[in-house]
Amino acid sequence: MNIMAGADMQDTTFVRDKRASLLLLLAAQVLAMSVWFSSAAAIADIKLTYQISPVAEALLTSAVQIGFVIGTIVSALLGLADRYDPRRLFALSAGIAAVATGTLVVLEPTGGVVIALRILTGVCMAGVYPVGMRLAATWAKGDIGLLIGLLVGALTLGSASPHLLAAFGGLGWQSIYGAATVAAIAASVLICFVRVGPNMKRAARIEFSRFSESWRRPAVRKANLGYLGHMWELYAMWAWLSLFLHQSFAARGMEDGNIKAATLTFAAIASGAIGSWLGGVLADRYGRTTVTMTAMAISGLCAATAGWLFEAPLLMLVPVIIVWGITVIADSAQFSASVAELAEPEAVGTLLTVQTCAGFLLTLGSIQMVPLVLPHLGWTGAFSILAVGPFLGCIAMWRLRRDPESRRLAGGRR
């Protein structure tokens, strides 16, 4: 009886600590990621006062992504997420990002110094996003898909927030950067109160071989190839959906078309938070490859279809856009969960960092591809090319499903 009572008490303590830590982690993640999307929210107000070329505008919004790629490469090579306390790494990264973003408040919002500070912010985000997934994984107990799915849902809401500002009226650019600075400072404080779960195992030293393990091990490589197929579509869809809808609504001569387009863009991207949660629940219950292949097949079909609906009745266009927004992100966390389950415990952080690095590097190409294709093939061709990624991703995950190592996924549920 005493043994059973002790076990029940341990389970109760575990559940309480897990719930409290994950709530704090989610809050810290949302607050810290606000610096990533602050330029996207500020750019409209900046353009009202300052002359800014299309190239400079694109660089201002993509500089954080460039920095993120640089940061993840350095982090993965040095194994930072596996060698050090992830909370301290998160807090330090969020703090530096806060300083870099706060400095923008007192500078003119264009020029080389601003771009450098945005790149530095991206470097710091490499110590936030993948490290947050690492922390969530330490609490996993048959529910890693759901835990990482919740974090990706937080990222999704952050991505959608600039479009909400556009729909209902934004703030001045100094206020936006100032609010993001305060949020990042709060994140660096909150993360210090998060407990590390029992699954944490630190690496004792730098092992550069961990960096290449993502591609040397067949099962991990297949999961990463699936992730790359998913990422080829995701950020390009998020980046260009707003322009597609603005042009579509303008062609219809809709009253308040810009506001309605921004509202639908926000609804589509934000609904991905539901997809991330649902994808985690279903993947833990029915299998990672099952959910990722299903989500990519549906999102790929939406991508191949959306361009054809440019002037179609809204009753046809809107449901496709919403379903696309849900399914394009529903599988994202499950690629990370797959790598976490396939990796050795002391290499989880490094392999997650390598995965996100490769994915975000690829998005730099797919985002720039759309405006190159658009003048020649229109939205039909541009969005259809995005559909190639998830369809190839389905093939990669089907191959992983047939790999004997896939038995390690979701407790044997492939």
Phi, psi (5° rounding) for residue 36? -60, -45
Higher-scoring residue by pLDDT: 392, 76: 392
Q: Using 50, 70 and 90 to split pLDDT, how confident is the model at 414?
A: low
Q: Report pLDDT for 6.
A: 53
Q: Is 131 helix (H, G, I), strand (E, B) or coil?
A: helix
Specify the length of the chain in residues: 414
pLDDT class of 282 with cuts at 50, 70, 90: very high
**Dihedral of alpha carbons 9, 10, 11, 14, sign:** positive
Mean pLDDT of 116-131: 91
Q: Which of 136-145, 163-172, 201-210, 305-314 has the lowest mean pLDDT?
A: 201-210
pLDDT greater than 70 at residue 217: yes
Rounded CA-CA distance 48/164 in Å is 19
Grade residue 252 by pLDDT with cuts at 50, 70 and 90: confident
High-pLDDT (> 90) share of the chain, %: 36
pLDDT tens for 36-91 read 878 877 777 787 788 877 777 777 878 888 999 899 888 888 877 777 888 999 99
Q: In this prediction, what percent of the chain has a pLDDT beyond 70?
A: 91
For tokens 């994202």, name the residue: 332
Mean pLDDT of 171-175: 81
Of 99, 338, 361, 54, the closest CA to residue 222 belongs to 338
What is the overall mean pLDDT for the chain? 85
Q: 362-373, pLDDT tens digit by residue?
A: 988 888 888 889
Per DSSP (E only), the strands in 135-236 are: none
* SS3 call for 109: coil
Estimate the share of the chain in helix, then strand, then coil, as percent rounded to the nearest 5: 85, 0, 15
Do residues 257 and 250 make contact, with C-beta atoms less than 8 angstroms apart?
A: yes
CA gap 34, 13 in Å, rounded: 32
Contact 89, 133 (CB under 8 A): no
Report which of 412, 286, 360, 340 is spatially closest to residue 136, judged by C-alpha positions.
340
Work out the number of other CB atoms within 10 angstroms of the CB of residue 311: 9
**What pLDDT score was predicted for residue 169?**
62
Q: What is the DSSP letter of 288?
A: H
Confidence of residue 205 (pLDDT cuts 50, 70, 90): low
Tokens linked to 318? 């809107």
Q: What is the pLDDT of residue 191?
A: 93
Mean pLDDT of 313-326: 95
Q: Is the pLDDT of residue 215 over 90?
A: no
> What is the pTM for the complete model shown?
0.82
Predicted pLDDT of residue 362 = 92
Phi-psi region of 256 (alpha: psi -120 to 50; beta: other; left: phi over 0): left
Residue 289 binned pLDDT confidence (cut-offs 50, 70, 90):
very high
